[in-house]
Structure 1
Amino acid sequence: MIRVSFLVTAFWAVTLAVSAQQINAPKELIQTYTSQYKGERFPDGRPRVSDDLVKRLKTISLEEAWGVLRSEGYTNQFEAGWMRINAGQVLAGRVLTAQYMPARPDMENPIKEKGKAENRKGAPNSWPIDQLNENDVYVADGYGKLVDGTLIGDNLGNSIYAKSKTGVVFDGSVRDLEGLEAIQGFTGFVRGFDPSFIKDMLMTGINYPIRIGRATVLPGDLILGKTEGVIFIPAHLAEKVITSSEWIALQDDFGHQMLREGKYTPGEIDMKWSAAIIQTFRDWLKKHPDKVKMTPDQLEERIKKL
C-alpha cells in the first residue's frame, strides 16, 4: 500500500513539475484522464475520434445521445441556457479546452513568459486557436464573465473557422456579433454579447479538464450542439453513442411511417416486434439505404436483438 501511494505521489509530482513549464496540459495527464479511449490520438495526447464519426454525430438528436450517456452513468454532460451565433446550425466536433480565470498580477507575467518560451504569438486568448485542427471545437471556461469577458471578436472568429470549420462554446462572452454571423458555416454557443474588449482575465491552460455549467469536459470529447443546448460525449463512448442513437432513429422513422400508413397499431409498434414487423422493417431498410450509417454487421447484430 505504501509503495502504491509513493508511486501515485511521484506521478503527480512529475506531472505538476512538467505542467509548471508549459501552457498545454502534459501529454501524460491527457492520456491518464482519457485512458479508456483506445483509438488514434493527436501528438499532444488528445483523443482523435474519426472524422466519419464527427460527420455522423450531426444527424443524431441530443435526447438520443443523452439517453445512451445516462445509461452508461454519465449524468453531467449536458448544458443549456445559451445565446447563439448563427442559430439553427448544428455544432459537432472534437473538444479542445481552454481555462480562463480572473487576473492577478503575480500570475500574469509568468504565463506570458511561458508563452514566449513556447514561441506563442499574440494575446493569450488566441493561443488555443493556434492548436485547432479541422473538426475541432474551441471550448472555453470563461467563468460566465460578460463585460470585459469577450474571448473573441470577428478577427479571431475568422481564424477559428479557417482552422476548424466548426465554431465555439464559451462560458463567457464574445464581441462583434455582426461580423461573427457573417462567417458562413461558423456557429457558437455563448453566455452573451458585449462591445467591450477582454480585460482582467488569464488564460491559464489548454487541454485541461474544465467545467462548462453543469458539465465536466475533457479534451478530445465530442460535442454536439443543437437548439436545446450542448452535450459532451467522452471519446471512448463516441462510437457507441452514435451507433445507438442512429439505431433508435431508424426504429423511430420506420415506426412513425407504419403508424401514418395505418399498417400497424401503436400497441404493435410500441411492444416487442413480431416476426412480421421485423421482416417489414428489413424490407423498409432495403428501400432506404441512405438512412443507414452503421456497417452491415452492426446493423444485423442489432436486428437480431429485436
Structure 2
Amino acid sequence: MGIDPLPLDPELVRTLSGVTTATLTTVLLKKGLRNLWMRGTKPIKPGQPRVVARAFTLRFVPAREDLATPASWASPISTRAAIEAMPPGCIAVVDAMGVTDAGIFGDILCARMQKRGVAGLVTDGVIRDLDGVLASGLPVWCQGTAAPASVAGLTFVGWQEPIGCGGVAVFPNDVVVVDADGAVLIPADLLETVVPIAVEQERFEGWVVHEVAAGVALPGLYPANEATLARYQAWVKTQG
C-alpha cells in the first residue's frame, strides 16, 4: 500500500545521531522551515536513545461505528498488516489526529515492531498497555496512555501515504530525528543541504558551551561577532 519505503545511509544515521533536535529546528528555521517539530511527541520514558530513521507513515481518521470494530483488526487494511510491511530501521510515524482517549498500539503490536527491527514509534496520539510496551523495548514518543483500544475513537485507513502528525506534514521516507525534546522532521529532499550545516552548528554550540563554562559573557559570543568567529576557527584548526 502507498509508497515503497527506502533505506537510509547508515553513515547519515551515525552523523545525525550526534545532532540534537533543538539544533535541527534552528537550522531548519534558518532555511525558512518553521513547522517541522511534531507537537505532543514526548518520550514515554526518560533516557530513550536518539533515533534517526526514515518515516513509515500510518493514518487514522475519526471512528465510524461500521468500520471501527474489533473485527477490523483482521482486515487486509489494518495496523497488523501495516506492521508486517515495515522495514527494519524505519520509524513508524502515526497520525492519530491528536486523540488521547484511545490507544493506537499496545504491548503485542509494539513487541512485534521491536521484533521486526523497527527503530521506534512516534505519534500525536497515545498508547495502551504501558507496562508491556515498556517491556517490549520499543522506543516510543507520544502524548501518554489510555486504556481503550484504537477502535474506541479512531478508524485505521492506511499506510505509506502523506499524513499529519502533531501539526506537521509527514511524507513517507522523510527523515525523522527524535530525542528528549520530541520529534523533528527533515524533508527528504533537503537532507544533503541540512545535515552538513547541522553538524557544524552542533560543533559550534558545543564550543560555545565550553566558553560559557570558562566565564565568557554572552554578548558577542552567542550570536558570535567577528572576533569570536576568529577564535572559533582557530580552535577548529587545532582539532585536526
Matches within 5 A, 1:1-306: 24-25=1-2, 27=3, 44=4, 46-89=5-48, 90-104=50-64, 116=76, 124-147=78-101, 149-184=102-137, 186-199=138-151, 201-258=154-211, 260-261=213-214, 267=220, 270-273=224-227, 278-283=233-238, 285-286=239-240
- Matched letter for residue 229 of structure 1: G
What stretches of structure 1 of length at least 5 have no aligned partner? 1-23, 28-43, 287-306
How big is each residue's C-alpha offset from its partner over 1:238-290, in whole Å with a ceiling of 9 and x where there is no partner? 2332221110121222344355457999647821247665333201x12xxxx
| Partner Cα separation in structure 2 for residue 84 and residue 276 of structure 1 | 38
- Matched letter for residue 148 of structure 2: S
| Partner Cα separation in structure 2 for residue 222 and residue 182 of structure 1 | 26
Query: Which secondary structure does the structure 2 equivalent of 1:182 belong to?
Result: helix
Give me the TM-score of the superposition, normalised by structure 1.
Answer: 0.66
- Matched letter for residue 100 of structure 2: L
Quick check: 2:204–2:232 contact (8 Å CA) kept in 1?
A: no
Give me the TM-score of the superposition, normalised by structure 2.
Answer: 0.82
Q: RMSD over aligned Cα, in angstroms?
A: 3.0
Which entry has the higher C-alpha Rg, 1 or 2? Answer: 1
- Matched letter for residue 257 of structure 1: H
How big is each residue's C-alpha offset from its partner over 1:65-111, in whole Å with a ceiling of 9 and x where there is no partner? 112222323222112334432332123211000111124367679xx
What stretches of structure 2 of length at least 5 have no aligned partner? none
How big is each residue's C-alpha offset from its partner over 1:16-39, in whole Å with a ceiling of 9 and x where there is no partner? xxxxxxxx12x4xxxxxxxxxxxx
Quick check: 2:43–2:179 contact (8 Å CA) kept in 1?
A: no
- Please state how far the C-alpha of 1:216 moved relative to its aligned partner: 0.8
How big is each residue's C-alpha offset from its partner over 1:170-197, in whole Å with a ceiling of 9 and x where there is no partner? 222211101111233x211122312222
| Partner Cα separation in structure 1 for residue 170 and residue 95 of structure 2 | 10
| Partner Cα separation in structure 1 for residue 113 and residue 87 of structure 2 | 9
Q: Percent identity?
A: 23
